[in-house]
Amino acid sequence: MTAFNKMRRALIFIAFAFLAMPAAATSCSTIAADLLDALPGDTIETGPITCPSRIIINRLAVPGGVTLDASGATFNQGITVANSSGLTIRGGTYGMLAADTVATYAIQASGVTDFSVAGARFFAGPGGNRGGVQIRNGLRVTVRDSYFEAHRTGLSLYEVTDALAARNVFRKATSDGINVVGSHRFIIAANDCHWTARVGQAHPD
């Protein structure tokens, strides 16, 4: 191989590596803006940050989708997603065992299309009336491979169409692991719900 060809291959490799590099969110306060500025197929990495306040993502619409890689991140007050499409949230810890979140659910999503949560961990505080994930008015939504602990209801789907809830683990849910209302064409598969302690008239799963 000539020196020219070697140089050309090296430049091509560098170019592809650069194109594949994810954009990094610099702080909790920039996550929403970074997502809104993302290009189709981009991944926004949070790194090992702790966000004490709730993150609000509104009117995100990226053709082809964008991923928030929250692996290693902790969102003490969770995330709200509204009127958005094409968002995948991967990893992260939402809520706290030590205290309740201000919002009822650690992740609340409404008016979402092509929305996915995967590989996340959800915890509720001692109040006993908080939830893990709530999705309202959703189309093509997925919640999978996630862990939920100490919620009143782990996962709630209201008026959702074309949904998948798979391989999630629910522990210490005082009412429901999964609650589905007014939804159509959904698959619930290979989830693990278990708890025995009753609170009031609740019926733990």
Sign of CA dihedral 32, 38, 41, 45: negative
- pLDDT per residue as tens digits for the range 141-196: 999 999 999 999 999 999 999 999 999 999 998 888 999 999 999 999 999 998 77
Task: Give me the mean pLDDT over the 128-143 stretch.
Answer: 96
- pLDDT per residue as tens digits for the range 3-62: 544 454 444 434 434 444 566 666 899 999 999 999 999 999 999 999 999 999 999 999
> Could you tell me the two tokens for 115?
């929305």
> Could you tell me the two tokens for 145?
């491979």
The predicted structure's pLDDT at residue 2: 59
- pLDDT per residue as tens digits for the range 75-102: 999 999 999 999 999 999 999 999 999 9
b/e sequence 86-111, b meaning 16+ C-beta within 10 Å: bbbbbbbbbbbeeebbebebbbbbbb
The predicted structure's pLDDT at residue 12: 41
Spatial contact of 81 and 87, defined as CB atoms under 8 Å apart: yes
Bridge partners, residue 166, by sequence: 144, 189
| pTM value surpassing 0.75 | yes
> Could you tell me which of 121, 117, 51 has the C-alpha nearest to residue 92?
121
Q: How far apart are CA 167 and CA 148, in angstroms?
A: 11
